[in-house]
Structure 1
Amino acid sequence: MATPTDTTETAGEGPVEELLRLKRGAREGGDPAATERQHAKGKLTARERIDLLLDEGSFQEIETLRRHRATGFGMEARKPYTDGVVTGWGTVEGRTVFVYAHDFRIFGGALGEAHAAKIHKLMDLAAAAGAPLVSLNDGAGARIQEGVTALAGYGGIFQRNTRNSGVIPQISVMLGPCAGGAAYSPALTDFVFMVRETSQMFITGPDVVQAVTGEQVSQNGLGGADVHASVSGVCHLAYDDEESCLTDVRYLLSLLPANNRELPPYVATDDPADRRTDRLLELVPADPGMSYDMRTVIEEVVDDGETFEVHPTWATNVLCVLARLDGHVTGIVANQPSAMAGVLDIHASEKAARFVQMCDAFNIPILTLVDVPGFLPGVDQEHGGIIRHGAKLLYAYCNATVPRVSLIVRKAYGGAYIVMDSRSIGADVALAWPSNEIAVMGAEGAANVIFRRDIAAADDPEAVRQQKIKEYKAELMHPYYAAERGLVDDVVDPAETRATLVATFAMLRTKHADLPSRKHGNAPA
Structure 2
Amino acid sequence: MGIVEDKIKDLKDREAKILQMGGEKAVAKQREKGKLTARERLDLLFDKGTFREIDMFVTHRCVNFGMENVEIPSDGVITGHGLVEGRPVFAFSQDFTARAGSLGEMHAKKICKVMDLALKAGVPFIGFNDSGGARIQEGVDALSGYGQIFYRNSVASGVIPQISAIMGPTAGGAVYSPAMTDWIFMVKNSSYMFITGPEVIKSVTGEKITFEDLGGAMTHNEKSGVAQFACESDEDAINRIKTLLSYLPANNMEDPPVVPNGDDPKRTDPMLDTIIPDSPNQSYDMKEVIRSIVDNGEIFEPHEFFAANMLVCFARLNGRTIGIIANQPQVL
Pick the TM interval, shorter chain: over 0.9
Q: Which residue of 2 aligns with 1:276?
A: 268
Q: Which residue of 2 aligns with 1:175?
A: 167
Q: Which residue of 2 aligns with 1:147?
A: 139
Which residue of 107, 117, 141 maps to 1:125? Answer: 117
Shift of 1:208: 2.1
* Residues 1:82 and 2:98 are matched in the alignment: no
Q: Which residue of 2 aligns with 1:262?
A: 254
Which residue of 299, 309, 326 maps to 2:318? Answer: 326
Which residue of 81, 84, 95 maps to 2:87? Answer: 95
SS in 2 for 1:155: helix
SS in 1 for 2:186: strand
SS in 1 for 2:132: coil
Sequence identity, in percent? 50
Shift of 1:24: 2.2
> Where do 1:243-258 residues align within 5 Å?
243-258=235-250
Q: Which residue of 1 aligns with 2:304?
A: 312
Which residue of 37, 44, 49 maps to 1:52? Answer: 44
C-alpha separation between the residues in 1 aligned to 2:313 and 2:66? 51
C-alpha separation between the residues in 1 aligned to 2:278 and 2:142? 60
> Where do 1:410-421 residues align within 5 Å?
none
C-alpha separation between the residues in 2 aligned to 1:133 and 1:255? 15
> Where do 1:207-356 residues align within 5 Å?
207-340=199-332
- 1:385-440 Cα offsets, whole Å, 9 max, x none, are xxxxxxxxxxxxxxxxxxxxxxxxxxxxxxxxxxxxxxxxxxxxxxxxxxxxxxxx
Q: Which residue of 1 aligns with 2:181?
A: 189
* Residues 1:72 and 2:67 are matched in the alignment: no
Letter in 2 for 1:246: I
- 1:434-476 Cα offsets, whole Å, 9 max, x none, are xxxxxxxxxxxxxxxxxxxxxxxxxxxxxxxxxxxxxxxxxxx
C-alpha separation between the residues in 1 aligned to 2:315 and 2:248? 11
C-alpha separation between the residues in 1 aligned to 2:121 and 2:275? 46
Q: Which residue of 2 aligns with 1:482?
A: none
C-alpha separation between the residues in 2 aligned to 1:224 and 1:83? 27
Letter in 1 for 2:66: G
Q: Is the 8 A contact 2:73 2:98 kept in 1?
A: no
SS in 2 for 1:235: coil
C-alpha separation between the residues in 1 aligned to 2:120 and 2:19? 27
- 1:125-156 Cα offsets, whole Å, 9 max, x none, are 00001110010010000001101111111111
SS in 1 for 2:131: coil
Q: Which residue of 2 aligns with 1:26?
A: 18
C-alpha separation between the residues in 2 aligned to 1:213 and 1:292? 45
C-alpha separation between the residues in 2 aligned to 1:148 and 1:115? 14
- 1:194-247 Cα offsets, whole Å, 9 max, x none, are 011111001121122222322210111110011111111111111121111111
Structure possessing the higher radius of gyration over alpha carbons: 1
SS in 1 for 2:301: strand
C-alpha separation between the residues in 2 aligned to 1:329 and 1:258? 13
Unaligned runs of 5+ in 1: 1-8, 341-525
Shift of 1:30: 5.3
Q: Which residue of 2 aligns with 1:156?
A: 148
Letter in 2 for 1:323: A
* Residues 1:166 and 2:163 are matched in the alignment: no
SS in 1 for 2:114: helix
SS in 2 for 1:308: coil
Shift of 1:94: 0.4
Structure of higher RCO (CA pairs closer than 8 Å, 6+ residues apart): 2
SS in 1 for 2:75: helix
C-alpha separation between the residues in 2 aligned to 1:60 and 1:281? 53
Q: Is the 8 A contact 2:72 2:99 kept in 1?
A: no
Shift of 1:11: 9.1
Letter in 1 for 2:288: T
SS in 2 for 1:265: coil
- How many residues are aligned here? 332
Q: TM-score, normalised by structure 2?
A: 0.97
- 1:91-140 Cα offsets, whole Å, 9 max, x none, are 11000011100011111000000000000111000000111001001000
Q: Which residue of 2 aligns with 1:387?
A: none
Q: TM-score, normalised by structure 1?
A: 0.62
C-alpha separation between the residues in 2 aligned to 1:212 and 1:293? 46
SS in 1 for 2:274: helix
Q: Is the 8 A contact 2:22 2:99 kept in 1?
A: no
SS in 2 for 1:89: strand
C-alpha separation between the residues in 2 aligned to 1:121 and 1:165? 16
Unaligned runs of 5+ in 2: none
